[in-house]
Amino acid sequence: FPEMLSNPRLTAVERTVNVVINQNVTLSCHSDSGSPPVRYTLFKHNQKVSTVNRADLTPGLFNVTINSASDTGEYKCKAENSIARGEKYSNSLSFILIEPISKPVLSSPTSQAKEGQNVTLSCLSENGSLPITYIFFKGRKTLSPPVKMQKREAAVIFLFINSSSDFGIYKCRAENSFCNTTKYSNSFNFTLAAEERSHSQPLLISLVLILLLLIIGLALAIPFFIIPSYKASE
């Protein structure tokens, strides 16, 4: 007597569900047990894609091209043999569309700093599949552990400008799961902020000028007072 098929398993032959645009993938639909021949049908979003027949219990293979994001949706397959209403459905399978990251931008709210000041650096890639991992550098030195962002938000680190050596060149690196590619940011460096003049300095300068003017004025006035007094005493 014909034996009913087991529920088929739908898998990606490439062993990964991460795909890129225009990638060709192969799906395998396979019932481990049951009476052949077997008819396998592939569905995408509950719409029939194609059908293959197998004379034995070898897997049914389907070639799919990921042309757009809509092609990454839910896939299922159906296995059926000569038993009436004995069709069995597989698990669902969805692909994850992976996009390359764009060059990250490294920035800070301020470009000037002075020793003893706390500053922040932000690194952000505007495009690319999430999650994105960011790493900050000063020269070739890593500044912090990798920062993994699950949202389209900038990774931020906090720095303390301790000495003049902290005014070097900073960079950040971004990477995601797209073919293990990485992108480096623009260079960024803080410039030394000019020390603000003390409010007492202008006042002190003004007082010195006034004093000088008084001395000069007094020196000019002395002849007019001393000489007439001397003549009057004669």
My answer on whether 143 and 81 are in the same domain is no
Asked whether residue 198 is domain-assigned, the answer is: no
Quote the DSSP letter at residue 93.
B
Q: What is the mean pLDDT of residues 108-133?
A: 92
Residue 201, pLDDT score: 59
Q: Which of 71, 97, 123 is the last residue of a domain?
A: 97
Residue 225, pLDDT score: 61
My answer on whether 108 and 93 are in the same domain is no
Asked whether residue 112 is domain-assigned, the answer is: yes
pTM of the model: 0.58
Asked whether residue 2 is domain-assigned, the answer is: no
My answer on whether 51 and 112 are in the same domain is no
Asked whether residue 129 is domain-assigned, the answer is: yes
Determine the structural domain holding residue 113 and report its residue range: 104-192
My answer on whether 30 and 78 are in the same domain is yes
My answer on whether 131 and 164 are in the same domain is yes
Q: What tens digit of pLDDT does each residue of 21-31 get?
A: 899 999 999 99
Q: How confident is the model at residue 196 (pLDDT cuts 50, 70, 90)?
A: very low
My answer on whether 78 and 15 are in the same domain is yes
Residue 18 has pLDDT above 80, yes or no: yes
- CATH number of the CATH domain containing 183: 2.60.40.10
My answer on whether 88 and 140 are in the same domain is no
From 13, 185, 175, 11, select the one nearest 98 (Cα to Cα): 175
Q: Can you tell me the distance from the alpha carbon of 218 to that of 24, in angstroms, rounded to the nearest whole number?
A: 99
Asked whether residue 119 is domain-assigned, the answer is: yes
Asked whether residue 209 is domain-assigned, the answer is: no
Residue 234, pLDDT score: 58
How big, in percent rounded to 5, are the helix, strand and coil portions of the chain? 20, 40, 40
My answer on whether 135 and 88 are in the same domain is no
My answer on whether 139 and 156 are in the same domain is yes
Q: What is the mean pLDDT of residues 199-226?
A: 71
Asked whether residue 224 is domain-assigned, the answer is: no
In percent, the amount of the chain with pLDDT more than 70 equals 91
161 neighbors 113 (Cβ within 8 angstroms)? yes
Q: What tens digit of pLDDT does each residue of 39-59 get?
A: 999 999 999 999 999 999 999
From 229, 101, 219, select the one nearest 155 (Cα to Cα): 101
Q: Residue 90: exposed, middle, or buried by beta-carbon count in 10 A (0-12, 13-18, 19+)?
A: buried
Residue 119, pLDDT score: 94
Asked whether residue 186 is domain-assigned, the answer is: yes
What's the chain's average pLDDT? 88
From 85, 82, 34, select the one nearest 56 (Cα to Cα): 34
Q: What is the mean pLDDT of residues 165-176?
A: 92
How many structural domains is the chain composed of? 2
Q: What is the mean pLDDT of residues 161-182?
A: 88
From 180, 185, 179, 190, select the one nearest 136 (Cα to Cα): 185
List beta partners, residue 59: none
Question: Which range among 104-118, 125-139, 154-168, 185-199 shows the weakest confidence by mean pLDDT?
Answer: 185-199
My answer on whether 51 and 67 are in the same domain is yes
Residue 126 has pLDDT above 90, yes or no: yes
